[in-house]
Amino acid sequence: MLSYEITDKLTIKLKEISDIAAKWAAVLGSFPPSIKEIMRRYARISNIGSTTRIENAVLTDVEVDWLDRTLSQDGRTTSFEQNKNYIANKLSKERERSIEEVAGCRAMLEIISNQAEDLFPLTETAIRGLHKELLRFYPPAEHYCGQYKTSPNNVVEKILGTTIQRDVLKTADPGPITEAAMNDLIAWYNADLRMFPWVIAVAAEFTFRFLAIHPFPDGNGRLGRGLFAMILLQSHDTNLKAVTPYIALDRHTEKNKEEYYWVLRKCSDGKFSQDPKQYKIEYFLEFILKMLKEAMNHDVNFYQERAVAHNTLTESMRKILETFKDHPEKKLALKDVLEYAQLPRSTTIRILNDLVTQNFLQKIGKRPAVKYQLVF
C-alpha cells in the first residue's frame, strides 16, 4: 500500500496528531458559526500568503487580505481582470508577478476548499484543472496551463532577495516518464486513500511523489501543497477533516522553509525514481507531522482569540481598522489616520493605542515620527 514503512515511532506520532485533531474538533464544535467563519478566513489568507512566499512571491498577509477583499466584492470570476490595474497600482506594478500568483493560488484553494469531496476519486483532468486555476492570471503561462512539461525542470530552492537558487531534486523527465508516473500516482491514491488507516501518511506519500515528478512547467510547489490540503479534506478521519480549514499549515512550512527543502532532498537523494520504494518518504512524513502539530497546537486557539477580539471591536475601532485595510501598502502616521477616519484627535489616539494593545496594529518608531502598521 504505502511505499515506505510506518515504524512504531511514526505510529506514536500519528496517534498523537490524531488525538490533537480530536481535541480541537471537539473545541471547534462549541464555537458559534460567526467565530468559525472569521477563523477560516484568517487561516485561508495565511495559507495563500505563505504558500506563494515559499516560491518567492513577496506579498504580505495584510496585502493578500486586501487583495482578497477587493476580489470578493462582486464574487464574479472576472473580477481579477477587471481590478488588475487597480490592484497593481495599489500594491506596486513591480510586484505584478506576485499579485498574479496570489490571485491564482486564491482561486485554486477556493476550489479545493469548496469541492474537495467532489474531486474524489481523483483524476488527471481534475489536477490539470487546478493547475489552470493556479496560473490563469499569469499571461506567460497561457500556452501551458494544465499541460504537462515538455522540457526538464527541477525542484529548486530560491534564496529570497538574491538571484541564487539551489537544485534540490532532479525531477522526472518530460514525456512518457512523467505521464506514466502521474497515472501510477493517481491510481495508487484512489485505491489506497480510504483503505489505509493513516490518511496523513497517504497524503505525505502522494505529495512527495507529486513534487518529485514535478509534472508541470511551473506551479508544482503551490499545487502540491494545495493537493495535500485536499487529501486531508477528502479524509475518512472526520476530526482531521473538521480541523483542516482552521489551520494554516503552509504558514508553518514557510517558517521552516530551509528544512522543507532539505527534507525533499534527503528523501530523494536529489533525484526522481520510477520506483517510489527507492525514496525515504518517512522523513517527509516526519516533517509534515511536526508542521501539523505546530499548526494545530497554535492556530485554532490563536485564530479563535483573534475572531473573538474582532467581534468585540467598537464601531470607531472598526472604522480606524478599515482605514489601515484600505491602505495595505502604507505605514500610517497619526495625521494620515485623522485625515482618513475623520474622528476626533483624542478618540483616534486612544483607539490607536487600544488596537496596538490588542495586536491589531503595530507601532513603529517614536514620537514625533511614530507610524502604525496593520497586523494580520
Supply the CATH number for residue 209's domain: 1.10.3290.10
Asked whether residue 300 is assigned to any structural domain, the reply reads yes
Which among 265, 281, 310 is the end of a domain?
Answer: 310
Are 372 and 357 in contact, with CB atoms under 8 Å apart?
no
Q: How many residues does the chain have?
A: 376
In a domain, 125, yes or no: yes
The CA–CA distances, whole Å, from 243 to 44, 57, 232, 235 equal 13, 27, 9, 11
Query: Taking Cα atoms as reference points, which of 58, 53, 63 lies closest to residue 324?
Result: 63
Q: Which of 272, 295, 310 is the last residue of a domain?
A: 310
255/238 same-domain check: yes
Q: Residues 172, 39: one domain? A: yes
Residue in the block written with cell 499569469: 138
Which domain CATH number covers 322?
1.10.10.10
CA–CA distance, 193 with 191 (Å, rounded to integer): 6
Q: Is residue 353 part of a domain?
A: yes
Mean per-residue pLDDT of the chain: 95
Quick check: is 3 in a domain? Answer: no
Yes or no: say if 260 and 142 are a contact pair by the CB < 8 Å rule: no
* 74 pLDDT more than 70: no
- Are 180 and 325 contained in the same domain? no
- 274 lies in the same domain as 335: no
Is residue 116 located within the same domain as residue 210? Answer: yes
CB contact at 8 A, 347 and 335: no
If asked whether residues 244 and 324 sit together in one domain, one would say: no
Instruction: Report the share of the chain in percent with pLDDT over 90.
Output: 90
Residue 269 per-residue DSSP state: T
Question: Which pLDDT tens digit goes with each residue over 82-136?
Answer: 899 999 999 999 999 999 999 999 999 999 999 999 999 999 999 999 999 999 9
- Is residue 281 one of the residues assigned to a domain? yes
Are 356 and 242 part of one and the same domain?
A: no
Mean pLDDT for 189-218 is 94
In the predicted structure, residue 158 carries a pLDDT above the cut 90: no
Same domain, 143 and 260: yes
With residue 138 as reference, give the H or E element that holds it.
Answer: none
Confidence band for 366, pLDDT divided at 50, 70 and 90 = confident
Residues 217 and 330 grouped into a single domain: no
* Same-domain status, 194 and 242: yes
The cell for 210 is: 507529486
Whole-number Å distance between alpha carbons of 234 and 370: 48
Task: Write the pLDDT tens digit of every residue in 273-322.
Answer: 999 999 999 999 999 999 999 999 999 999 999 999 999 999 999 999 99
pLDDT: which is higher, 157 or 243: 243
| pLDDT in the model for residue 163 | 74
Helix (H, G, I), strand (E, B) or coil at 144: coil
One domain, residues 306 and 321: no
The answer as to whether 2 is a domain residue is no
Q: Which residues contact 191 (CB under 8 A, 6 or more apart)?
A: none
Q: What average pLDDT does the segment 261-274 reach?
A: 97
Provide the residue range defining the domain that includes 70. Answer: 8-310
Residues ≥6 apart with Cβ < 8 Å to 127: 182, 186, 223, 227
Residues 354 and 233 in one domain: no
Domain count, the chain: 2
Peptide bond into 139 cis (omega under 30): no
CB 245 within 8 A of CB 254: no
pLDDT reported for residue 86? 93
